[in-house]
Structure 1
Amino acid sequence: MKRRQLLMTIFGISLADATIRGTILKSGLLADTSVGNSIQPFADLTNDLASGSTETVNEPLLRFAAIADTGVGSFDQYAVAQAMAQIYEHSPFALVLMAGDNIYPYGEMQYIQSAFEKPYAPLLSQGVKFHAVLGNHDIIKSNNGQDQINYPLFNMPDRYYSFTKSFPTSLPQATNSNHNSELVEFFALDTNDNADWRSQLAWLDRQLGNSKALWKIVFGHHPLYSSGLHGSDQQLASMLAPLFAKHQVKLYLCGHDHGYERFVPINGTTYIVNGGGGAPLYQFGSSGQTAFVSQRFSFMICDVYQDKIITKAIATDGKVFDRSIITHTI
């Protein structure tokens, strides 16, 4: 039995299913290439956390993972999922943000086992919560995404929503009197063309303005800025970027372009394309605002502290290939 066939059998993917689902895959996947600066290449995450890196020696107040463009049921998706599970064993994270294209090719719930439940079974069995948003593939044959919204393990109460994570009860709250017990508020967006943008933008402006969280993090499927196949979306940027700047959103996570690209902060917001979750990789270029770009299957870990967020992009071998520190004045 060939190695790829053996690994598919181990991970519970039938060759028939892989062939059917593979009709959406491109032939000739790209080799891993990376462009960037100011990183520590291939630093092992678990050793980094265990030994105490030069960044910090303290455990974060919150650790979460992020993925996007996952739901193909492919060998590469399972490789990313396995790497996530291995990291979790040493450095547990509380939740996973799923930035869309959760089920290929058309969002059909009939593929939920191979696209989600089987690859992430080790994490789901530990009670890790996934919080999803709708990608462009998710709305085609799923009652415009409603079938996925109704799926309980996606923890997606609506097309757009927010949720908070509080400071640990054992830790004094942030000294800034403008904040209460909320450490992070996550804002999940429907960035599809057919979204109810008038209502969503009014909601986002109001919700961001009312938030008392120390950190505000937004995630959606489509990038505002990207050097990948789809590229930047000027219309999306014109709608969202001013709100992010106005309300001091520090991080926007997305997918859609299948690869990884981190931008230098733009008006105070760090934008990261994190689309290497399993779907076939795209060719990426770079721009003058690109801090790091890579074409490899990967996911992210974010460690949240009172004064900073440390982001780490991790390949299927469990190695960190990009990191950044987002600072916050308390």
Structure 2
Amino acid sequence: MINPRKSPDLIMIDVTQLRHLCFQIFVGSELPRIEHYSSKRNGDSITFLVVGDWGRGGYFNQSRVASQMGRIGKELDIDFVISTGDNFYDNGLKGVDDPAFHTSFTKIYTAKSLQTPWYIGNHDYQGNALAQLSPELKKIDPRWNCGRNFIVGAGIVDIIFIDTNPLVNKYFDNPKKQKFDWRGILPREKYISALQKNLDMELSKSKAPWKIVVGHHTMKSIGYHGDTLEIVDHLLPILEAHKVDMYINGHDHCLEHLSNKMGSMQFFTSGGGSKAWKNEIHYEMHKGSTHFYYDGQGFMSVKLSYEKAKIEFYDVYGKSLYYLKLKP
């Protein structure tokens, strides 16, 4: 049924590990891993916000969303923030000294509660795709943790970040003649094969009660873009085989929750960080498995404990639109 209704963390990352994460060229080895150690808790609960499709210099209500993220972040005493990608519009960063990093990130997410680690999926391939992966950005803003494919281990949850852009056929067919920076990706077939093997391996190894996969592109959506068939074909069978609890994405500039008819897996879209209101909704696509859809700006929160999870969506005014509780 569709229902529209503190102090910074201490994070311990080995320097060599961080460099490997930031400069990672995906060649089929195991995924880099960040262990998130919170000074707030003993690992028995984790709380974070999720926002996507945001970087527009504060315009298109990005600043308003950021303000409400700060308020809700304080109320929930969050441990970190996740970005689902499309970090800098329209064409990513030109380099590590691009002023867009400040005007769309550092000077926007200024609330005290948001001065926590940000774990960031990468999607911007029309600028300098390696710029967002550079450790130089972390020197500028210590919150910045961006990688292609990596894992955040946070006690009771393993969160695997997948760079889905190389899986999408239209970027390679490229009818618009866009210029993409595919350094570290080609040959594409090798990238996809390695990604599948590594994802399968990492999920097999995971002992965490909760398993979450984050990508930019939709897997199940009734929004403007709908399902991304390549993501469904390449990734969904692996996620289902390992009983992944959630797939979280952006790409559609909306907020939504769908579930998998074949199992307990949940699909969440949080792509309302700035420009939204596409006014194109395909209700017929997932009848019976669509639980919430909001065609507008906002973000989501996730609170996990060993026994349960609470997911909540908020609009640009910080109003709670929808929430649900899950068990692992």
TM-score higher than 0.5:
yes
- 1:185 to 2:158 alignment: yes
Q: Deviations over 1:50-92 (max 9, x none)?
A: xxxxxxxxxx811110000011121411100000111123221
Matches within 5 A, 1:94-133: 94-108=79-93, 109-123=98-112, 127-133=115-121
Q: Residue 317 of structure 2 aligns to a residue in which SS?
A: coil
**2:56 is matched with which residue?**
72
The one-letter amino acid paired with 1:163 is V
C-alpha distance in structure 2 between counterparts of 1:102 and 1:65, whole Å? 15
Return the offset for 1:225. Answer: 1.2
Q: Residue 93 of structure 1 aligns to a residue in which SS?
A: coil
Quickly say closer, same or farther: Cα 1:82–1:140, change in 2 above 3 A.
same
Tell me if structure 2 keeps the 8 A contact 1:259–1:281.
yes
- 1:281 to 2:277 alignment: yes
C-alpha distance in structure 2 between counterparts of 1:234 and 1:316, whole Å? 30
Tell me if structure 1 keeps the 8 A contact 2:52–2:87.
yes
| Structure with larger Rg | 1
The one-letter amino acid paired with 1:307 is E
- 1:316 to 2:316 alignment: yes
C-alpha distance in structure 1 between counterparts of 2:249 and 2:77, whole Å? 22
C-alpha distance in structure 2 between counterparts of 1:68 and 1:130, whole Å? 12
Q: Deviations over 1:232-271 (max 9, x none)?
A: 1122101111111111110111010111121024422100
TM-score, length of structure 2 as denominator length: 0.73
C-alpha distance in structure 2 between counterparts of 1:86 and 1:227, whole Å? 29
**1:257 is matched with which residue?**
252
C-alpha distance in structure 1 between counterparts of 2:106 and 2:194, whole Å? 32
Tell me if structure 1 keeps the 8 A contact 2:159–2:212.
yes
Matches within 5 A, 1:226-265: 226-265=221-260
Query: Which of residues 186, 194, 218 in structure 2 aligns to 1:199?
Result: 194
Matches within 5 A, 1:133-152: 133-135=121-123, 138-142=124-128, 145-150=129-134, 151-152=137-138
Q: Deviations over 1:70-122 (max 9, x none)?
A: 11121411100000111123221011110000011100143111111111122
C-alpha distance in structure 2 between counterparts of 1:79 and 1:163, whole Å? 28
Matches within 5 A, 1:50-61: 61=45
Tell me if structure 2 keeps the 8 A contact 1:250–1:326.
no
**2:74 is matched with which residue?**
89
Quickly say closer, same or farther: Cα 1:219–1:123, change in 2 above 3 A.
farther
Return the offset for 1:123. Answer: 4.2
Percent identity between matched residues is 26
Tell me if structure 2 keeps the 8 A contact 1:300–1:311.
yes
C-alpha distance in structure 2 between counterparts of 1:281 and 1:198, whole Å? 36
Tell me if structure 1 keeps the 8 A contact 2:50–2:299.
yes
The one-letter amino acid paired with 1:203 is N
**2:178 is matched with which residue?**
none
**1:36 is matched with which residue?**
2
Q: Residue 237 of structure 1 aligns to a residue in which SS?
A: helix
In angstroms, what is the RMSD of aligned CA positions? 1.8
Return the offset for 1:199. Answer: 1.1
Return the offset for 1:212. Answer: 1.0
- 1:154 to 2:117 alignment: no
Tell me if structure 2 keeps the 8 A contact 1:260–1:274.
yes
C-alpha distance in structure 2 between counterparts of 1:308 and 1:104, whole Å? 36
Q: Deviations over 1:145-198 (max 9, x none)?
A: 210011324312x310001112xxxxxxxxxxxxxxxx0011000000365211
Tell me if structure 1 keeps the 8 A contact 2:276–2:296.
no
**1:16 is matched with which residue?**
none
Q: Residue 314 of structure 1 aligns to a residue in which SS?
A: strand
The one-letter amino acid paired with 2:82 is L
Q: Which runs of 5+ in 1 are unaligned?
A: 1-34, 42-59, 167-182
Equivalent residue pairs, number: 252
C-alpha distance in structure 2 between counterparts of 1:197 and 1:301, whole Å? 30
**1:304 is matched with which residue?**
304
Q: Residue 65 of structure 1 aligns to a residue in which SS?
A: strand
The one-letter amino acid paired with 1:185 is D
C-alpha distance in structure 1 between counterparts of 2:305 and 2:127, whole Å? 40
Tell me if structure 1 keeps the 8 A contact 2:276–2:295.
no
Return the offset for 1:279. Answer: 2.3
**2:40 is matched with which residue?**
none
